[in-house]
A and B are shown apart, each in its own frame.
Chain A
Protein backbone atom coordinates (compact mmCIF):
# COMPACT_ATOMS: atom_id res chain seq x y z
CA UNK A 1 0.00 0.00 0.00
CA UNK A 2 1.52 3.33 -0.96
CA UNK A 3 1.34 6.49 1.07
CA UNK A 4 -1.46 8.05 -0.94
CA UNK A 5 -3.68 5.01 -0.42
CA UNK A 6 -3.07 4.96 3.30
CA UNK A 7 -3.70 8.70 3.54
CA UNK A 8 -7.00 8.27 1.71
CA UNK A 9 -7.93 5.36 3.94
CA UNK A 10 -7.25 7.28 7.14
CA UNK A 11 -9.07 10.32 5.76
CA UNK A 12 -12.11 8.11 5.35
CA UNK A 13 -11.70 6.81 8.88
CA UNK A 14 -11.52 10.37 10.21
CA UNK A 15 -14.61 11.36 8.23
CA UNK A 16 -16.58 8.44 9.68
CA UNK A 17 -15.41 9.35 13.17
CA UNK A 18 -16.37 13.01 12.74
CA UNK A 19 -19.80 12.11 11.42
CA UNK A 20 -20.33 9.65 14.26
CA UNK A 21 -19.30 12.25 16.83
CA UNK A 22 -21.61 14.82 15.26
CA UNK A 23 -24.51 12.39 15.47
CA UNK A 24 -23.77 11.68 19.13
CA UNK A 25 -23.53 15.41 19.91
CA UNK A 26 -26.89 16.11 18.29
CA UNK A 27 -28.59 13.29 20.17
CA UNK A 28 -27.06 14.24 23.53
CA UNK A 29 -28.12 17.87 23.38
CA UNK A 30 -31.65 16.77 22.64
CA UNK A 31 -31.58 14.51 25.69
CA UNK A 32 -30.23 17.19 28.05
CA UNK A 33 -32.36 17.34 31.18
CA UNK A 34 -33.32 20.91 31.89
CA UNK A 35 -34.44 20.82 35.52
CA UNK A 36 -31.67 22.70 37.36
CA UNK A 37 -30.64 21.84 40.91
CA UNK A 38 -29.63 25.00 42.75
CA UNK A 39 -26.59 25.40 45.00
CA UNK A 40 -25.85 28.73 46.69
CA UNK A 41 -22.47 29.96 47.91
CA UNK A 42 -22.74 32.46 50.77
CA UNK A 43 -20.05 33.43 53.29
CA UNK A 44 -17.82 30.77 51.68
CA UNK A 45 -20.33 28.01 52.48
CA UNK A 46 -22.56 25.89 50.26
CA UNK A 47 -26.34 25.87 50.79
CA UNK A 48 -27.64 23.23 50.93
CA UNK A 49 -24.53 21.42 52.16
CA UNK A 50 -26.23 18.19 51.11
CA UNK A 51 -28.05 18.18 47.78
CA UNK A 52 -30.23 15.19 46.88
CA UNK A 53 -30.52 14.40 43.15
CA UNK A 54 -32.02 11.50 41.20
CA UNK A 55 -29.52 8.84 40.09
CA UNK A 56 -29.23 7.54 36.54
CA UNK A 57 -29.94 10.78 34.70
CA UNK A 58 -28.00 13.83 33.65
CA UNK A 59 -28.06 16.59 36.27
CA UNK A 60 -27.89 20.32 35.60
CA UNK A 61 -26.37 22.16 38.57
CA UNK A 62 -26.90 25.88 38.87
CA UNK A 63 -24.37 27.31 41.32
CA UNK A 64 -25.04 30.84 42.51
CA UNK A 65 -22.14 32.67 44.15
CA UNK A 66 -23.55 35.42 46.41
CA UNK A 67 -20.14 36.35 47.80
CA UNK A 68 -18.19 39.16 46.18
CA UNK A 69 -15.09 36.96 45.90
CA UNK A 70 -14.61 34.28 43.23
CA UNK A 71 -14.93 30.61 44.12
CA UNK A 72 -13.87 27.44 42.34
CA UNK A 73 -16.38 24.61 42.47
CA UNK A 74 -14.29 21.46 42.51
CA UNK A 75 -15.15 17.80 42.90
CA UNK A 76 -12.82 14.86 42.45
CA UNK A 77 -15.71 12.43 42.90
CA UNK A 78 -17.58 14.07 40.01
CA UNK A 79 -14.45 15.02 38.05
CA UNK A 80 -15.55 18.64 37.72
CA UNK A 81 -13.98 22.06 38.25
CA UNK A 82 -15.33 25.48 37.45
CA UNK A 83 -14.45 29.00 38.54
CA UNK A 84 -17.47 31.07 39.56
CA UNK A 85 -16.89 34.82 39.70
CA UNK A 86 -18.26 36.85 42.63
CA UNK A 87 -21.97 37.72 42.40
CA UNK A 88 -22.63 35.38 39.51
CA UNK A 89 -24.20 32.04 38.63
CA UNK A 90 -22.63 29.12 36.79
CA UNK A 91 -24.05 26.01 35.17
CA UNK A 92 -22.34 22.63 35.59
CA UNK A 93 -23.54 19.36 34.09
CA UNK A 94 -22.85 16.13 36.00
CA UNK A 95 -23.88 12.51 35.73
CA UNK A 96 -25.73 10.34 35.00
CA UNK A 97 -24.68 9.24 38.51
CA UNK A 98 -24.77 5.84 40.17
CA UNK A 99 -26.49 5.95 43.59
CA UNK A 100 -24.05 7.22 46.21
CA UNK A 101 -22.41 10.23 47.84
CA UNK A 102 -20.24 12.61 45.84
CA UNK A 103 -18.38 15.28 47.76
CA UNK A 104 -17.46 18.67 46.36
CA UNK A 105 -15.79 21.76 47.77
CA UNK A 106 -14.85 25.34 47.01
CA UNK A 107 -11.14 25.26 46.30
CA UNK A 108 -10.61 28.91 47.16
CA UNK A 109 -12.13 28.49 50.64
CA UNK A 110 -11.74 24.83 51.37
CA UNK A 111 -12.06 25.11 55.16
CA UNK A 112 -15.69 26.21 55.07
CA UNK A 113 -16.96 25.50 51.56
CA UNK A 114 -17.74 21.79 51.74
CA UNK A 115 -20.71 19.92 50.41
CA UNK A 116 -21.97 16.61 49.14
CA UNK A 117 -24.33 15.50 46.37
CA UNK A 118 -26.42 12.44 47.20
CA UNK A 119 -27.70 10.49 44.22
CA UNK A 120 -30.70 8.27 45.01
Chain B
Protein backbone atom coordinates (compact mmCIF):
# COMPACT_ATOMS: atom_id res chain seq x y z
CA UNK B 1 0.00 0.00 0.00
CA UNK B 2 2.79 2.37 0.94
CA UNK B 3 4.64 1.69 -2.30
CA UNK B 4 1.47 2.46 -4.25
CA UNK B 5 0.96 5.69 -2.34
CA UNK B 6 4.50 6.79 -3.15
CA UNK B 7 4.17 6.06 -6.88
CA UNK B 8 0.84 7.84 -7.21
CA UNK B 9 2.10 10.71 -5.05
CA UNK B 10 5.02 11.22 -7.42
CA UNK B 11 2.79 11.34 -10.48
CA UNK B 12 0.20 13.60 -8.90
CA UNK B 13 2.82 15.88 -7.35
CA UNK B 14 4.24 16.84 -10.73
CA UNK B 15 0.86 17.89 -12.11
CA UNK B 16 -0.16 19.52 -8.81
CA UNK B 17 2.97 21.69 -8.73
CA UNK B 18 2.32 22.93 -12.25
CA UNK B 19 -1.31 23.69 -11.43
CA UNK B 20 -0.34 25.39 -8.15
CA UNK B 21 2.11 27.71 -9.90
CA UNK B 22 -0.33 28.53 -12.70
CA UNK B 23 -3.19 29.11 -10.27
CA UNK B 24 -1.00 31.57 -8.37
CA UNK B 25 0.31 33.27 -11.51
CA UNK B 26 -3.26 33.97 -12.65
CA UNK B 27 -4.58 35.04 -9.25
CA UNK B 28 -5.95 38.30 -10.60
CA UNK B 29 -7.63 36.95 -13.71
CA UNK B 30 -11.39 36.99 -13.48
CA UNK B 31 -13.00 33.58 -13.78
CA UNK B 32 -9.72 31.66 -13.79
CA UNK B 33 -11.07 29.02 -11.38
CA UNK B 34 -13.59 27.97 -14.01
CA UNK B 35 -10.77 27.67 -16.54
CA UNK B 36 -8.55 25.73 -14.16
CA UNK B 37 -11.31 23.27 -13.32
CA UNK B 38 -12.17 22.86 -17.01
CA UNK B 39 -8.49 22.17 -17.76
CA UNK B 40 -8.33 19.64 -14.94
CA UNK B 41 -11.49 17.87 -16.15
CA UNK B 42 -10.29 17.80 -19.76
CA UNK B 43 -6.92 16.45 -18.61
CA UNK B 44 -8.54 13.68 -16.56
CA UNK B 45 -10.80 12.66 -19.43
CA UNK B 46 -7.83 12.76 -21.77
CA UNK B 47 -5.65 10.66 -19.47
CA UNK B 48 -8.29 7.93 -19.35
CA UNK B 49 -8.33 7.98 -23.15
CA UNK B 50 -4.55 7.89 -23.40
CA UNK B 51 -4.36 5.06 -20.87
CA UNK B 52 -6.92 3.08 -22.87
CA UNK B 53 -5.02 3.60 -26.11
CA UNK B 54 -1.50 3.04 -24.72
CA UNK B 55 -1.13 0.07 -27.01
CA UNK B 56 -2.10 2.03 -30.12
CA UNK B 57 0.09 5.02 -29.24
CA UNK B 58 3.06 2.79 -28.45
CA UNK B 59 2.90 0.92 -31.74
CA UNK B 60 2.81 4.14 -33.78
CA UNK B 61 5.95 5.38 -35.52
CA UNK B 62 7.59 1.95 -35.38
CA UNK B 63 7.57 1.65 -31.61
CA UNK B 64 8.53 5.16 -30.57
CA UNK B 65 4.99 6.58 -30.52
CA UNK B 66 4.98 6.96 -26.75
CA UNK B 67 8.17 9.02 -26.71
CA UNK B 68 6.93 11.19 -29.58
CA UNK B 69 3.59 11.67 -27.85
CA UNK B 70 5.26 12.71 -24.58
CA UNK B 71 7.71 15.00 -26.36
CA UNK B 72 4.91 16.71 -28.31
CA UNK B 73 2.75 17.16 -25.21
CA UNK B 74 5.71 18.65 -23.34
CA UNK B 75 6.62 20.82 -26.34
CA UNK B 76 3.14 22.33 -26.54
CA UNK B 77 3.18 23.05 -22.80
CA UNK B 78 6.57 24.79 -23.15
CA UNK B 79 5.24 27.01 -25.95
CA UNK B 80 2.15 27.92 -23.92
CA UNK B 81 4.19 28.78 -20.83
CA UNK B 82 6.55 30.85 -22.98
CA UNK B 83 3.62 32.76 -24.45
CA UNK B 84 2.19 33.35 -20.97
CA UNK B 85 5.44 34.73 -19.63
CA UNK B 86 6.05 36.99 -22.62
CA UNK B 87 2.47 38.24 -22.51
CA UNK B 88 2.76 38.95 -18.78
CA UNK B 89 5.99 40.89 -19.20
CA UNK B 90 4.27 43.22 -21.67
CA UNK B 91 1.91 44.08 -18.84
CA UNK B 92 4.65 43.87 -16.25
CA UNK B 93 5.23 47.57 -15.80
CA UNK B 94 1.58 48.21 -15.03
CA UNK B 95 1.31 45.16 -12.82
CA UNK B 96 4.30 46.01 -10.71
CA UNK B 97 3.13 49.59 -10.11
CA UNK B 98 0.00 48.72 -8.24
CA UNK B 99 -2.18 45.76 -7.62
CA UNK B 100 -5.19 47.86 -8.54
CA UNK B 101 -4.32 48.22 -12.20
CA UNK B 102 -3.92 44.48 -12.45
CA UNK B 103 -7.62 44.04 -13.09
CA UNK B 104 -7.51 46.47 -16.01
CA UNK B 105 -4.37 44.97 -17.44
CA UNK B 106 -5.78 41.50 -17.39
CA UNK B 107 -9.32 42.29 -18.41
CA UNK B 108 -8.25 41.13 -21.85
CA UNK B 109 -6.97 38.00 -20.17
CA UNK B 110 -9.65 35.60 -21.37
CA UNK B 111 -7.40 34.43 -24.16
CA UNK B 112 -4.62 34.11 -21.66
CA UNK B 113 -6.83 31.80 -19.60
CA UNK B 114 -7.54 29.48 -22.47
CA UNK B 115 -3.78 29.12 -22.97
CA UNK B 116 -3.29 28.15 -19.34
CA UNK B 117 -6.18 25.74 -19.52
CA UNK B 118 -4.20 23.88 -22.16
CA UNK B 119 -1.10 23.72 -19.94
CA UNK B 120 -3.10 22.41 -16.97
CA UNK B 121 -4.87 19.91 -19.20
CA UNK B 122 -1.59 18.65 -20.68
CA UNK B 123 0.06 18.32 -17.27
CA UNK B 124 -2.85 16.24 -15.96
CA UNK B 125 -2.97 14.26 -19.20
CA UNK B 126 0.67 13.19 -19.01
CA UNK B 127 0.86 12.32 -15.34
CA UNK B 128 -2.72 11.08 -15.13
CA UNK B 129 -2.51 8.47 -17.88
CA UNK B 130 0.36 6.70 -16.09
CA UNK B 131 -1.51 6.77 -12.80
CA UNK B 132 -4.66 5.40 -14.44
CA UNK B 133 -2.67 2.55 -16.02
CA UNK B 134 -0.91 1.77 -12.78
CA UNK B 135 -4.11 1.67 -10.72
CA UNK B 136 -5.85 -0.33 -13.46
CA UNK B 137 -3.03 -2.87 -13.40
CA UNK B 138 -3.39 -3.21 -9.64
CA UNK B 139 -7.15 -3.54 -9.65
CA UNK B 140 -7.13 -6.25 -12.32
CA UNK B 141 -4.26 -8.25 -10.85
CA UNK B 142 -5.58 -11.37 -9.16
CA UNK B 143 -3.35 -10.82 -6.15
CA UNK B 144 -5.00 -10.08 -2.84
CA UNK B 145 -4.74 -6.65 -1.27
CA UNK B 146 -5.99 -4.78 -4.33
CA UNK B 147 -8.25 -2.71 -2.08
CA UNK B 148 -5.41 -1.69 0.21
CA UNK B 149 -3.40 -0.78 -2.89
CA UNK B 150 -6.21 1.41 -4.17
CA UNK B 151 -6.41 3.00 -0.75
CA UNK B 152 -2.70 3.73 -1.10
CA UNK B 153 -3.42 5.29 -4.47
CA UNK B 154 -6.03 7.52 -2.89
CA UNK B 155 -3.58 8.54 -0.16
CA UNK B 156 -1.04 9.38 -2.85
CA UNK B 157 -3.53 11.57 -4.70
CA UNK B 158 -4.46 13.42 -1.51
CA UNK B 159 -0.78 13.90 -0.64
CA UNK B 160 0.09 15.23 -4.10
CA UNK B 161 -2.84 17.64 -4.17
CA UNK B 162 -1.96 18.88 -0.67
CA UNK B 163 1.62 19.60 -1.75
CA UNK B 164 0.42 21.46 -4.84
CA UNK B 165 -1.96 23.53 -2.74
CA UNK B 166 0.80 24.31 -0.24
CA UNK B 167 2.90 25.72 -3.08
CA UNK B 168 -0.04 27.79 -4.29
CA UNK B 169 -0.77 29.14 -0.80
CA UNK B 170 2.93 29.87 -0.25
CA UNK B 171 3.18 31.83 -3.50
CA UNK B 172 0.17 33.95 -2.58
CA UNK B 173 2.03 35.15 0.52
CA UNK B 174 4.68 36.85 -1.62
CA UNK B 175 4.20 40.63 -1.49
CA UNK B 176 2.56 42.09 -4.61
CA UNK B 177 5.73 44.04 -5.49
CA UNK B 178 7.72 40.89 -6.21
CA UNK B 179 4.87 38.54 -6.95
CA UNK B 180 4.86 38.72 -10.74
CA UNK B 181 8.63 38.56 -10.94
CA UNK B 182 8.61 35.48 -8.70
CA UNK B 183 5.89 33.59 -10.57
CA UNK B 184 7.53 34.64 -13.85
CA UNK B 185 10.80 33.00 -12.80
CA UNK B 186 8.95 29.87 -11.64
CA UNK B 187 7.08 29.53 -14.93
CA UNK B 188 10.33 30.09 -16.83
CA UNK B 189 12.09 27.27 -14.92
CA UNK B 190 9.02 25.05 -15.31
CA UNK B 191 9.16 25.51 -19.09
CA UNK B 192 12.91 24.84 -19.27
CA UNK B 193 12.52 21.69 -17.18
CA UNK B 194 9.77 20.45 -19.49
CA UNK B 195 11.94 21.12 -22.55
CA UNK B 196 14.74 19.03 -21.03
CA UNK B 197 12.28 16.21 -20.34
CA UNK B 198 11.11 16.37 -23.94
CA UNK B 199 14.74 16.05 -25.05
CA UNK B 200 15.13 12.96 -22.88
CA UNK B 201 12.18 11.27 -24.59
CA UNK B 202 13.62 12.10 -28.02
CA UNK B 203 16.98 10.62 -26.98
CA UNK B 204 15.23 7.48 -25.71
CA UNK B 205 13.55 7.18 -29.12
CA UNK B 206 16.92 7.61 -30.85
CA UNK B 207 15.70 10.72 -32.68
CA UNK B 208 18.26 12.97 -30.97
CA UNK B 209 21.83 12.08 -30.00
CA UNK B 210 22.53 12.24 -26.26
CA UNK B 211 25.81 14.21 -26.59
CA UNK B 212 27.63 12.94 -23.50
CA UNK B 213 25.48 10.78 -21.28
CA UNK B 214 25.50 11.28 -18.44
CA UNK B 215 26.94 14.77 -18.38
CA UNK B 216 27.21 14.53 -14.59
CA UNK B 217 25.95 12.19 -11.89
CA UNK B 218 24.48 13.61 -8.70
CA UNK B 219 22.30 10.57 -8.02
CA UNK B 220 24.20 9.76 -4.83
CA UNK B 221 24.11 13.28 -3.40
CA UNK B 222 20.50 13.97 -4.41
CA UNK B 223 18.60 10.95 -5.72
CA UNK B 224 15.56 11.64 -7.87
CA UNK B 225 13.39 9.50 -5.60
CA UNK B 226 14.11 11.54 -2.49
CA UNK B 227 11.51 14.12 -1.51
CA UNK B 228 13.88 16.99 -2.35
CA UNK B 229 14.77 15.35 -5.65
CA UNK B 230 11.09 14.92 -6.55
CA UNK B 231 10.28 18.53 -5.72
CA UNK B 232 13.26 19.87 -7.63
CA UNK B 233 12.44 17.63 -10.58
CA UNK B 234 8.92 19.03 -10.80
CA UNK B 235 9.87 22.64 -10.10
CA UNK B 236 13.04 23.16 -12.14
CA UNK B 237 13.41 19.89 -14.07
CA UNK B 238 16.22 18.47 -11.91
CA UNK B 239 17.77 15.36 -13.41
CA UNK B 240 20.56 13.54 -11.53
CA UNK B 241 22.04 12.07 -14.74
CA UNK B 242 21.29 14.44 -17.59
CA UNK B 243 22.48 13.98 -21.15
CA UNK B 244 24.25 16.88 -22.83
CA UNK B 245 21.33 17.35 -25.21
CA UNK B 246 18.98 17.85 -22.26
CA UNK B 247 21.12 20.69 -20.96
CA UNK B 248 21.16 22.30 -24.41
CA UNK B 249 17.35 22.21 -24.52
CA UNK B 250 17.17 23.58 -20.97
CA UNK B 251 19.51 26.51 -21.57
CA UNK B 252 18.06 27.29 -24.99
CA UNK B 253 14.51 27.45 -23.59
CA UNK B 254 15.62 29.66 -20.69
CA UNK B 255 17.42 32.01 -23.07
CA UNK B 256 14.65 32.14 -25.68
CA UNK B 257 11.85 32.91 -23.21
CA UNK B 258 14.06 35.25 -21.16
CA UNK B 259 15.03 37.28 -24.24
CA UNK B 260 11.44 37.32 -25.46
CA UNK B 261 10.31 38.73 -22.12
CA UNK B 262 13.05 41.36 -22.18
CA UNK B 263 12.27 42.54 -25.71
CA UNK B 264 8.55 42.73 -25.13
CA UNK B 265 8.86 44.68 -21.89
CA UNK B 266 11.39 47.06 -23.47
CA UNK B 267 9.35 47.76 -26.60
CA UNK B 268 6.28 48.11 -24.42
CA UNK B 269 8.05 50.68 -22.29
CA UNK B 270 9.31 52.74 -25.24
CA UNK B 271 5.83 52.76 -26.79
CA UNK B 272 4.45 53.82 -23.47
CA UNK B 273 6.93 56.72 -23.21
CA UNK B 274 6.17 57.86 -26.74
CA UNK B 275 2.48 57.84 -25.98
CA UNK B 276 2.80 60.04 -22.91
CA UNK B 277 5.50 62.40 -24.26
Contacts and interface: CB of A to CB of B under 8 A. Distances in A.
A79 B241 contact: yes
A12 interface: no
Q: Number of contact residues on B: which range applies?
A: 35 or more
B59 A88 contact: yes
Contacts of B267: 3
A80 to B, nearest CB: 6
Interface in B125-145: 130, 133-134, 136-138, 140-141
B66 A82 contact: yes
B240 A32 contact: no
If over half of A's interface residues share one DSSP class (helix, strand or loop), that class is named, otherwise mixed; here it is: mixed
B66 A79 contact: no
A70 B137 contact: yes
B48 to A, nearest CB: 14
Interface in B53-111: 54-55, 58-59, 62-64, 66-67
A84 interface: yes
Interface of B is mostly: helix
Interface in A19-61: 21, 24-25, 27-29, 32, 58, 60
Given A76-B219, A93-B206, A70 B241 contact: no
Contacts of B236: none
Given A83-B54, A83-B133, A90-B63, A29 B3 contact: no
A107 B64 contact: no
A84 to B, nearest CB: 7
Contact of A69 (B7, B62, B140, B205): B140
B85 to A, nearest CB: 18
Given A79-B214, A83-B133, A28 B58 contact: no
A92 interface: yes
A110 B3 CA distance: 9
Contact of A58 (B205, B206, B243): B206
A58 B213 CA distance: 11
A69 B213 contact: no
Contacts of B206: 28-29, 32, 58, 60, 93
A120 interface: no
Interface of B: 3, 7, 54-55, 58-59, 62-64, 66-67, 130, 133-134, 136-138, 140-141, 200, 203-209, 213-214, 219, 223-225, 239-243, 252, 259, 263, 266-267
Interface of A: 3, 7, 10, 17, 21, 24-25, 27-29, 32, 58, 60, 68-72, 76-77, 79-80, 82-86, 88-93, 95-96, 107-111
6 contacts: A21-B208, A68-B140, A69-B140, A85-B133, A88-B58, A108-B138
